[in-house]
Structures are given as C-alpha cells and as structure tokens.
C-alpha cells in the first residue's frame, strides 16, 4: 500500500532537529517506509540528518510518501504531528526538556554529527568474594573458569569471522585477545589463586587482573600502557560468561543513534553498523587504545575520556558530537544546531578536498619535496598507513609483541612480524625502533628482570639502557631486524640515547650480531642505516657530536618536550604546562636540524606535533623536510604542504626563535597561518592546536 500527501510546515522554527527527531521516532512505530520530498530531492524518513538536509523553514511544502501495510495510519499521524507544530510553545521556541549542557573529552576520530543518545550497558560486572570449602568445590570452580574462557574464545572467533571490511586490517587485535586468554599471567595465575586461595573464579580472576594492572601502571609510553585496556576487555568478557550476564548488543541497533557507554572493546567496534551508529562517546579510554585506533577506520566521530557521560546523558537526549575538538553539547538550542550543521558541511567539504590529495606527493607550491611517513604500533596498521598516503613508516614501535606474553618473543616470532611489514611497505623505508620499555614493566613473574621495582621507571632502566643491560634480549631483536631487512628497506633506530658512548656501545652490539650472522651464513642488509631517536635534552646539546657517528636523526618530540620541561602531560595537575611551542623546545629542534645538515645526514621528526596543522608551519620554517605522524593526520598535512610556498614560509618565520613565550609563538603562527592558508585556519574546520596548547 502507498500513501501520498502534501504537508505544509507551519511551525515558526521550521523542520529543525527536534522536529526531525519526532518524525524519525514516529517512523519506527509503523510497518511502513517514509520518504519526504522537497522540490526534486527525496530523503529517507528514518534519517534525522537527511530530513534536516531538506532545509524546510516555516511555509515550506513537502511531499510525504509512505509505502507499507500501515501507510494510511502512519500518514494520518504524520499529518497530525505537523499540525501540532511539533510541540512548539506559543512563542515558537523549542524548549529542550533538559538544560543545555556541554562536556569535553579526548577526540580520537574526527567528524561532526548530530543525533539521539543511545545508552549501551558496558558497566563492569560486580564480583563477590566466596570461600570454597573442599576440593570438590575447588575443582568445580576451576572447571567453570575453563569453560568461561573457552566460551570467550568462541565469542572472539565469531566476531573475527564477521569482521567488516573497514576494520579487517585490525583482525590481529582479536587474535591478541585470544592470546591474552591463554597467557599464564591471566589463565594459570587465576587457576592457582582458585586452588591456593580457595576462592571463587570471578574473585581469583579479578586478583590476577589487578596484578597485571600493577605491572602496567607505571609504563611511561602511553601506547604500551593502553594495552591494559585489552586485558580489561578480555577479563570482563570472561566475568560475564561466569555470571551469565548478556551484554547489550550493538548488532541489534536498527536506528540512527550516538552510542554512549562507559567503555567499548575492539569486539564492540567489529559489531558496529555505520549505517546506524553515527558516533561514539565513552567515559574512559585514551587516544591510543585499540578501540580508538579501530574506530577511526569507521570514519565516525568518536570522543573518549568524558568520565561521566553515562551519568549525565539520558537515553534519547539530542547530542552534538565534535570529533575534531572533543566538544559534546547535550540538548542544544536551534541556533547551536544550525551553527553545527553549517560547520559539519564545511568539514565534509574540506575533508573531501583533503582526501583527494592523499596519494599525491607532498610537494610545496614552489616545488620543494617534503616526505610524509606514518607512526605505527602494529603490523595491522600498515595497510591503513599506505591507503592514507604514507611514503613509508617513520616510526615502527616494537614493544607490543613483548607486552602480550609472559615470556620474551623468540627470534622467529619477531622475524615473521618484521618481514611482513618490510614487504608491505617496500620499496619505501621502514624505520624500526628497538625495544623501548622499562625493565620493571616487562610481563614476567619469574625473571630477574622483573624482580626489582623502580620508583621512577621513566628515568630508570628503560629503553636502550635496558637493552644494553639485557644483551640476550637485545641481540635477539637485532638478529630479527637484520634478518628481516632482506625483505625490504629497513632503517634501524636506537631510542633514548643520552650520550655518544651509549650510542657507540649499541653499535658495537649490533656489529657483534652481524658477525654472528656472517658466521652462520645468514643473509642481511650489511648497509642498513643506523640512527638515533633524539628525545633527551642532553642529546640535543651534543647533536653535532652524535651526527658524526649516526646515519640519520629522528626527533621524538613527545618525550623531548616532557624531559625538557619536566612535565608529565598525562598528569592533570600539570598537563597545561606541556607546551610544544615553548621557545626552548623550538630551539632544541632547530639545533638538531642544524647539526644534521652540517654533517649531511637526514633529520626527520616523528612526534605528535608533526601531525598538527599549526605546528607543521613552524617545523617547516626550522628546516625540517621529513615528518612521521599518526595515520589520520597524513591527508590534511599533505593538503597543506601542497598549498604552501616553502620559501615564503621560511622568509615570514625568520624571527620565530626570538619570541619569548609559547603564547606569543602561537599567536604569531596563527596569524601567519590564517594569511597563508585561509581556507583551513579561518574557517575553524580542523583541530590545529597541538596537545597541551591552550
């Protein structure tokens, strides 16, 4: 059955978001499909944004078409809704049922969306302590735990078999979750706690997870520390299986909504249908969690770390989510909605323009070639890096394989991983960073390495210091890197070098490994470039000395800024003092670039600020011509570079090193940026402030 009618918009504010939301809600009540037409354009009546896009002010006439068994009844109700003016007051003002509120979180996937909130229950399972009386109860509890783990493995495998094309490159994350279930720190430890402590499985598992938390809690590297999220996700799945609690399913969502949850796991991301899920908000999580990394591939706005979103936001609240800034507006007024609709259109327009240049060379408008590479942590990110236009991998973090198992990975495991990335990226280069982790955070319970605790592991036995202390671990990794080097174009980089003696000692270990491979007749690239990750102030001070012995420099600004300013950017009390534009930081970068240029070696920058549109102007002016950044930043930075005249940038920025404060630097650069790239900086479409600024 089909019904056709002309309906006039008679309310003062026209077909605004609140009105569109009521139409969508009505549409879900009937066994019929609604289409709305204005002029020559017809849209789906189940899409709030499609309805808003018709732009129907008061007086507009639209054609309603309804197809289905309930068409007549549906059309009558729709007509009544329009005649009721969508519940507007006599003054014509839309009155939100709740006070307008704003929240701020960490943006992890860009974009702007407007829609209704949908709560997804991901609260932690409550576990109670229960003492076991006898061996029979203990054996029964162990068996219950084994069954819950097996069930979790089956569930993860089901998710993997149904994985969508958008996140297929991250299937390895689900494999990792299966590996964690088998890990002795979780599996064996829990069984031992059930036996020795005579406690129920849920309580024993909780204690095992707390122990793993203790191992991770002082990890300096945010990327490694965030892997604890995977352990929490896996253990929560097992706990639900133990208690018989069925979690809310994302697969069951059939209307356009914005998900609000305490947290989401990679398995949740796999379940998402982007036709229905318009955005994601979570109380917890960081920019480098697996959930955040995977969600960016879905190309929907995601904001995490909101702390109390699940408490403040009510099911059905109208939300504006800005995945560029992390801003959330709850129950916005009509003017705010209109403003963000316009902002969303501008963002989508510029994003389309940016996407069109991702595979073009990063060449300035006056002909200078700039190299743009990607920072990655997992093999699975390689495909995404290439698809986003990366001209190589400028930083491959190698810690993950060391963090997911109790024992150190063997040589073959490392070779398998390294050779795959070499083949995928070839002929472009891969800069592989040797192990960068603190000794007391290695996931090992019976090794002497993990036995001693350090009060401040960030300044203790970590990174190259750990590697030089534990030569066997270091040599195994170096052997794997060298053996994999025959499959592509590898560059080897030592992190946290503080002085020349340390670097020369690392090179001596490398030479001894090379001699060992020679004796065994094993092929490798004898000319593999060996460089330094410059991330300690002492290294910047002697960059001229180090440059005589290194094949290349890569400036790691994330740690360099923290060490130079004595700031922990993850500490909420001092995070505002983390200033990437601090004059001292800029002078350090310039000093390293000058030292490298004088010795004729390549100098690149692989810190987070490389992907910041405002910072990139400063870095180009300081003489840098190679950058490695987060994958999502590559297209925009390429677009900017292709629009910039490099000679003019360097000429206009000549006095930047004389500016006395980070505030003056930012003000100076923003003014220049708005002049050089008005389409990007005047429109306010993209996030351009480096983390810690403003």
Residues marked as catalytic: 290, 606
Tell me which residue of 691, 684, 693 sits closest to 342, measured CA to CA.
Answer: 684
606 Cβ contact list (under 8 Å, min separation 6): 373, 375, 394, 395, 431, 533, 554, 555, 556, 557, 627, 628, 629
Tell me the three state secondary structure of residue 216: helix
- Please give the backbone phi and psi of residue 483, each rounded to the nearest 5 degrees, phi first: -65, -35
Report the DSSP pairing between strands 302-304 and 106-109.
antiparallel
Cα 329-330-332 angle, rounded to 5 deg: 75
Which of 469, 390, 466 is CA-nearest to residue 434? Answer: 466
Q: Are strands 277-282 and 302-304 parallel, antiparallel or unpaired?
A: parallel
Contacts of 360 (CB under 8 A, 6+ apart): 389, 638, 642
Instruction: Tell whether omega for the bond before 427 is within 30 degrees of 0, i.e. cis.
Output: yes
CB 75 within 8 A of CB 66: yes
Q: In what order do the strands lie in the sheet with 32-38?
A: 2-8, 61-68, 32-38, 41-44
Dihedral sign from CA coordinates of 565, 566, 569, 572: negative
CB 432 within 8 Å of CB 397: no
Q: Which is nearest to 639 in space by CA: 370, 431, 297, 408?
A: 370
């Amino acid at each position: 059955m089909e019904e056709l009618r002309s309906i006039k918009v008679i309310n003062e504010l026209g077909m605004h978001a609140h009105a569109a939301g009521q139409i969508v809600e009505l549409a879900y009540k009937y066994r019929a499909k609604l289409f709305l037409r204005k002029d020559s354009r017809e849209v789906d009546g189940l899409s709030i944004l499609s309805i808003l896009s018709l732009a129907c002010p008061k007086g507009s006439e639209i054609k309603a078409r309804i197809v289905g068994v309930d068409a007549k009844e549906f059309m009558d109700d729709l007509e009544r809704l329009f005649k009721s003016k969508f519940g507007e007051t006599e003054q014509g003002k839309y009155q939100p049922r709740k006070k307008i509120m704003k929240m701020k979180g960490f943006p992890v996937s860009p974009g702007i969306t407007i829609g209704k909130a949908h709560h997804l229950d991901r609260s932690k399972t409550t576990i109670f302590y229960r003492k076991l009386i006898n061996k029979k109860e203990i054996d029964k509890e162990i068996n219950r735990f084994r069954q819950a783990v097996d069930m979790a493995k089956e569930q993860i495998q089901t998710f993997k078999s149904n994985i969508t094309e958008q996140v297929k490159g991250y299937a390895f994350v689900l494999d990792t979750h299966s590996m964690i279930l088998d890990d002795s720190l979780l599996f064996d430890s829990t069984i031992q706690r059930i036996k020795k402590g005579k406690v129920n499985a849920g309580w024993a598992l909780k204690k095992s997870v707390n122990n793993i938390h203790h191992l991770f809690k002082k990890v300096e590297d945010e990327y490694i520390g965030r892997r604890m999220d995977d352990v929490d996700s896996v253990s929560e799945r097992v706990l639900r299986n133990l208690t018989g609690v069925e979690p809310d399913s994302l697969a069951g969502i059939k209307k356009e909504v914005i998900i609000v949850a305490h947290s989401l796991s990679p398995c949740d991301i796999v379940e998402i249908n982007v036709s229905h899920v318009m955005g994601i908000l979570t109380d917890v999580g960081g920019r480098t969690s697996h959930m955040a990394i995977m969600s960016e591939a879905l190309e929907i706005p995601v904001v995490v770390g909101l702390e109390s979103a699940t408490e403040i936001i009510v099911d059905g609240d109208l939300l504006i989510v800005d995945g560029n800034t992390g801003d959330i507006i709850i129950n916005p007024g009509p003017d705010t909605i209109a403003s963000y609709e316009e902002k969303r259109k501008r963002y989508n327009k510029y994003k389309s323009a940016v996407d069109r240049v991702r595979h073009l060379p990063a060449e300035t408008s006056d002909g200078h070639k700039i190299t743009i590479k990607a920072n990655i942590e997992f093999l699975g990110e390689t495909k995404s890096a290439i698809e986003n236009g990366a001209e190589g991998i400028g930083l491959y973090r190698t810690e993950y394989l060391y963090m997911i198992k109790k024992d150190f990975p063997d040589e073959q495991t490392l070779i398998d991983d390294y050779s795959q990335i070499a083949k995928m990226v070839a002929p472009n280069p891969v800069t592989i960073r040797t192990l960068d982790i603190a000794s007391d955070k290695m996931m090992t319970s019976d090794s002497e390495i993990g036995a001693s605790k350090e009060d401040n592991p960030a300044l203790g036995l970590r990174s190259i210091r750990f590697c030089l202390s534990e030569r066997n671990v270091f040599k195994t990794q170096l052997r794997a890197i060298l053996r994999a080097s025959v499959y592509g174009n590898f560059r080897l980089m030592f992190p946290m070098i503080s002085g020349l003696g340390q670097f020369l000692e690392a090179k001596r270990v490398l030479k001894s490994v090379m001699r060992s491979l020679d004796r065994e007749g094993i092929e490798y690239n004898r000319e593999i470039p060996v460089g330094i990750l410059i991330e300690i102030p002492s290294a910047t001070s002697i960059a001229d000395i180090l440059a005589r012995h290194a094949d290349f420099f890569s400036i790691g600004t994330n740690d360099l800024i923290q060490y130079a300013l004595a700031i922990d950017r993850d500490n909420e009390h001092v995070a505002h003092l983390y200033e990437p534009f601090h004059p001292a930081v800029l002078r350090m970068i310039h000093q390293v670039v000058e030292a490298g240029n004088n010795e004729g070696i390549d100098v690149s920058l692989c810190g987070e600020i490389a992907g910041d549109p405002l910072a990139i102007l400063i870095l180009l002016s300081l003489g840098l011509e190679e950058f490695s950044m987060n994958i999502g930043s590559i297209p925009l930075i390429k677009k900017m570079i292709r629009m910039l005249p490099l000679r003019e940038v360097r000429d206009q920025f000549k006095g930047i090193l004389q500016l006395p404060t980070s505030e003056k630097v930012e003000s100076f650069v923003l003014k220049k940026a708005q002049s050089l790239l008005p389409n990007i900086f005047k429109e306010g479409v993209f996030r351009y402030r480096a983390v810690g600024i403003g």
